[in-house]
Amino acid sequence: SQQGEEDPQALSIQEGENATMNCSYKTSINNLQWYRQNSGRGLVHLILIRSNEREKHSGRLRVTLDTSKKSSSLLITASRAADTASYFCATASYSGSARQLTFGSGTQLTVLP
């Protein structure tokens, strides 16, 4: 089942600008993760934020989580052409005894040089 929904579906910005992507989900979670996928490649884990955290930073990435609104945002500051990729949020919860990830449909980010 698809839990996360990213918004916007596609985003195009100029190099140096900030990019913000949003993710909404439906059920309670243990944590939320963001992944990047370059065209035709596998997903790469970027950052994880736990349900009891509100904000987390990693380099040029800033993630926020609002569990009351069941939403998260990913901010990429000072974007570069190399940031062009699809970005997916994934919510993590327990299913039986397994930690399971449920992915959204992704935001395609294009950074123009």
Partner 1 sequence: EAQVTQNPRYLITVTGKKLTVTCSQNMNHEYMSWYRQDPGLGLRQIYYSMNVEVTDKGDVPEGYKVSRKEKRNFPLILESPSPNQTSLYFCASRPPGAYEQYFGPGTRLTVT
Residues near partner 1, by CB under 8 A: 1-2, 4, 30-31, 33, 40-45, 48, 88, 92, 96-106
> What is the nearest approach in angstroms of partner 1 to the Cβ of residue 15?
27
CB-wise, 15 or 56, nearer to partner 1? 56
Residues 6+ positions from 79 with CB-CB distance below 8 Å: 13, 15, 16, 17, 18, 19, 109, 111
> What is the nearest approach in angstroms of partner 1 to the Cβ of residue 60?
19
